[in-house]
Amino acid sequence: MKTRKLGNSGLEVSALGMGCMNLSFGTGPAADINDGVATIRAAVERGITFFDTAEGYGPYTNEKLVGEALEPFRKDVVIATKFGFKLENNQITGVDSRPENIRAVAEASLKRLRTDYIDLFYQHRVDPNVPIEDVAGALKDLIQEGKIRHYGLSEAGANTIRKAHAVHPVAAVQNQYSIWTREPEAEVLPTCEELGIGFVPWGPLGTGFLTGTIDTNSKFDEGTDLRANFPRFSQENIRANMPVVEMLRAFAAKKNTNPVQIALGWLLAQKPWVVPIPGMDKIAYIDDNIKSVDLELTAEDLKEIDEQLSKINIQGDRLDAGLLSMSEE
């Protein structure tokens, strides 16, 4: 497996990371814990060293799964987790990045992850009630104590990134980014490049849409699948956005590959400090996704994809209104 460095942080990870959320939460029923452990360990065996989780996934259950799965390999892997949601009765009810909560979450996450340090600790969403300088200051303290090694921001805008970085260097920014969600290109990616910050796209496969396995007959259970409330996954918008998948299929056919590898390869080709973290809840998905690391897309390929995309008008917000309100776009 090829590796990449997340900006100037010194944090080196596999070129493709593993988003672990779907094993416990988000796009359907949770996996059996033994199956989940086996899937994560299969990723390790295939050279993946970068694993992404959060206290909010489950909540809590995904960190426990990741902790159990990676305990035998702890020194060889990089674990990223997140703080910043307010959790009440196992439900996300808002945001909370008060310094005392950051510390409490760090201590609890360390126990669930069965480790004495967190490699990368993200603020999951910007908290409008807590100055980002205070957040960065609390994280700087945890770094000095050795409880975390690096910190990052998720769904943060360029101004927030700059303010945090001035207090203590930000190692990585994790925002949604893919062929059909390109907002970071305007300000966030240039800011990361300027400041030497790594970028970790979540939802690199469009929360499943770019795989080509979703159509207007697809059903999303409101109780277990977040996409049931994502505007882009209404039947009307799925139908309107199918040209994106058709373009990926046609391009993949020319490259003798599939839409998944084109979508991931496109991200990898953007910058050498971009490390996508597709959700991989089946070993077959891991085997398919990692082939993208060796896919070569030329400047002409990227230009052709951009030209095709420019003719498609993507319909629907990428997230539901509640999650959008907790993002700083």
Specify if 250 maps to a domain.
Answer: no
**Residue 189 maps to a domain:** yes
Q: What is the mean pLDDT of the chain?
A: 96
Within-domain flag for 85 = yes
Domain residues for the domain of 178 are 3-205+263-295
CA dist., res. 62 & res. 64, Å (int): 5
Give the chain's length. Answer: 329
Sequence-distant (≥ 6) Cβ neighbours of residue 63 within 8 angstroms: 53, 54, 55, 57, 81, 109, 112, 113
Q: So what's the pLDDT on residue 323?
A: 77
For 132, the token pair is: 């980002």
Judge whether residue 121 has pLDDT over 70: yes
Q: For residue 318, is it within any domain? A: no
Rounded Cα distance, 153 and 156, in Å = 6
The tokens for 61 are 């259950």
Measured CA to CA, the distance from residue 185 to residue 273 in angstroms comes to 14
Q: What's the pLDDT score for residue 220?
A: 94
DSSP assignment letter at 254: H
For residue 324, pLDDT beyond 90: no
- Kindly state the average pLDDT of the residues 145-152: 98
Tell me the CA distances in angstroms from 278 to 91, 102, 176, 298, one per residue in order. Answer: 24, 26, 11, 22
Residue 275: inside a domain, yes or no? yes
Q: What is the CA radius of gyration of the chain?
A: 19
d(CA 215, CA 299): 31
| 57 in catalytic set | yes
3-state DSSP call for residue 89? Answer: coil
What is the count of structural domains for the chain?
Answer: 1
pTM above 0.75, yes or no: yes
Q: Is residue 224 part of a domain?
A: no
pLDDT for the residue numbered 37: 98
**pLDDT per residue over 83-107, tens digit each?**
999 999 989 999 999 999 999 999 9
Evaluate whether residue 308 is within a structural domain.
no
198 is a domain residue? yes
Instruction: Please report, for the domain that includes residue 157, its CATH number.
Output: 3.20.20.100
Q: What is the pLDDT of residues 297-315, one digit of tens each?
A: 999 999 999 999 999 999 9
**Among 57, 122, 151, 177, the one annotated catalytic:** 57
